[in-house]
Structure 1
Amino acid sequence: MSQNRNLRVIGVMAKFWQPGEVKTRLANSLNSARTATLRDITSDSGKPVLGGFTDPMAVSAEIHRRFVCHLLTRLAGVGEIRQLVGSPVDRLADFQAALVEQSIQGWQVTDQGTGDLGRRMKRWFEHLLFRPVDDSDSEDSGVSQNHTLPVADRQDRAMSCVLIGADCPLLSQDEMDQAWKSLETHDLVLGPADDGGYYLIGLRGSADLEKSRTSGVTQESLAGLFEGIAWSTPDVFEQTLAAAERSSLSVGILPTRHDVDTAEDLVRLAGTIAREFPEESVLLDGLFD
């Protein structure tokens, strides 16, 4: 591996799969589906997708667990540094135990910290791109010293960091490679979601900004990408683009993907799996009649 190339880091943000604490929007839509028109929706294969569950909160939590573990397995060989960026902090040991139970290797488990989504994402990038290896983390840093990157892994090299959530479980190494390829010529890369948000964000660090063709990502421009954004609204992607433009950051755009946030999204995913990825049917096996 060339020492001239940035170190490639991937993070997967995930809440622990406690029923009632994760994917509640999906749970509520599944609950409505029992008595509303969604009850009879089927996948393209004709197999009923919704119905037969007893507790929508438990079903949505199990779906989230499967999505997280599936992504960690699919992306186990991606990049040089892989982090499961978990929440809450008191469930990090449970994340670690789940990885062992599922025989998922090669992932560090780190803490998201506190605050809104933007603050937690900003913290992850800030820690990787700007903090020295031996920096002592503050109480609110969200990354304990036990979970910092090993000196041998960092080698004082610049990093290209990509962060995703767990709402697009079919993401693969190809999409990650596209993101890192884009970061070779752009400061920022975004993967837009069809609901107006984004499923992926990546930033390129530079060891020597004076030699960069652009101004590069600074702590000020990093803050602008995550502060003042109307999270969980259809405006997130456009607001992030506007923030990048204000900071003169060059932006690469990946293909648009669908998040799984509602029962209708789940139906779409089931149809996609049936048509294009039958080998991924384990994602939904046994959850529905």
Structure 2
Amino acid sequence: MSDIPLLLFAKAPVAGKVKTRLQRHCSAQQAADIACLLMQASLKQVCQNWPGNVYLSVWLDHEHPFFQQMLDQYPIAMTQQCDGDLGQKMRHALHAFGYPAVVMGCDAPHVSASALRNAHQALQAGRPVIGPSVDGGYYLLGLTNPVDALFSEMPWGTSAVLTKTRAAAQASGVNLQELEPLNDVDEWRDLLELAETEESIRCYLNEQGLV
């Protein structure tokens, strides 16, 4: 079952619409540039280390030229996210591709190759997986069967998402195998921490005089 799909969720890098929490420290365009770098680094990592097919699941502007650049550069296909909140988008994407399947955000390009392999192996063995974020959310979710309770009435964007997801899984009789926790990139301090290991981010921040 090496063809388990990974759907990388991405928002078009439109200035003022992405990475808005970073704009306390940079301009709207710089935040959009950083979003591009995060997306590209995430694509590079998953394309190198995910054994199955990789799809870029996009929202906001599916015709954005940066998406086309990514399609030209990486062995991926593109799908569009549905309308609705994050839970509705993830639920729809997983249902559309069938199970097992994985959704992952573009805020954790530093996910390790071993974590991706562990997720794939777990799903091959029929075990659903989750990648916890240090801020109380999660950066990856892989399911072997539909579990709609994981996507409804969740306080998306808050530190309570992971706890409530664990509780919903337990109430549904689902045992989520947990991957290594990661500090995904939402705040400026997260970006500076990533820049220590991600060269493209470090170079951009230096070029723009942001560090």
Q: Could you tell me the TM-score, scaled by structure 2's length?
A: 0.89
TM-superposition CA deviations, 1:111-144 (whole Å, max 9, x none): 0111001100010011112xxxxxxxxxxxxxxx
8 Å CA contact retained: 2:15, 2:29: yes
8 Å CA contact retained: 1:95, 1:109: no
Flag the structure with larger Rg: 1
Pick one of 69, 75, 81 that aligns with 1:98.
69
Residue matched to 1:56: 27
Give 3-state SS (helix, strand or coil) of 2:62's partner. helix
Quote the Cα distance in structure 1 between the aligned partners of 2:169 and 2:100: 17
Quote the Cα distance in structure 2 between the aligned partners of 1:175 and 1:255: 7
Give 3-state SS (helix, strand or coil) of 2:42's partner. helix
Quote the Cα distance in structure 2 between the aligned partners of 1:286 and 1:105: 21
What stretches of structure 1 of length at least 5 have no aligned partner?
Answer: 31-54, 130-158, 205-216, 274-279
Residue matched to 1:85: 57
1:171 maps to 2:142: no
Root mean square deviation of aligned Cα:
1.8
Residue matched to 2:38: 67
What stretches of structure 2 of length at least 5 have no aligned partner?
Answer: none
Q: Could you tell me the TM-score, scaled by structure 1's length?
A: 0.66
Quote the Cα distance in structure 2 between the aligned partners of 1:182 and 1:229: 25
Q: 1:71 to 1:25 in 2, by over 3 A?
A: same
8 Å CA contact retained: 1:84, 1:107: yes
Shift of 1:83: 0.5
8 Å CA contact retained: 1:72, 1:104: no
Residue matched to 2:17: 21
Shift of 1:265: 1.2
* Sequence identity (%): 29
1:197 maps to 2:137: yes
8 Å CA contact retained: 1:83, 1:107: yes
Q: 1:56 to 1:96 in 2, by over 3 A?
A: closer
One-letter amino acid of the structure 2 residue matched with residue 58 of structure 1: Q
Residue matched to 1:230: 155
Q: 1:186 to 1:236 in 2, by over 3 A?
A: farther
Residue matched to 2:85: 116
8 Å CA contact retained: 1:183, 1:252: no
Residue matched to 1:282: 200
One-letter amino acid of the structure 1 residue matched with residue 141 of structure 2: I
Residue matched to 2:95: 126
Quote the Cα distance in structure 2 between the aligned partners of 1:6 and 1:75: 14
Give 3-state SS (helix, strand or coil) of 1:282's partner. helix
8 Å CA contact retained: 2:4, 2:53: yes
The 5-angstrom pairing of residues 265-276 of structure 1 reads 265-271=190-196, 273=197
Q: 1:97 to 1:261 in 2, by over 3 A?
A: same
Give 3-state SS (helix, strand or coil) of 1:12's partner. strand
TM-superposition CA deviations, 1:163-187 (whole Å, max 9, x none): 1111112224322111112224454
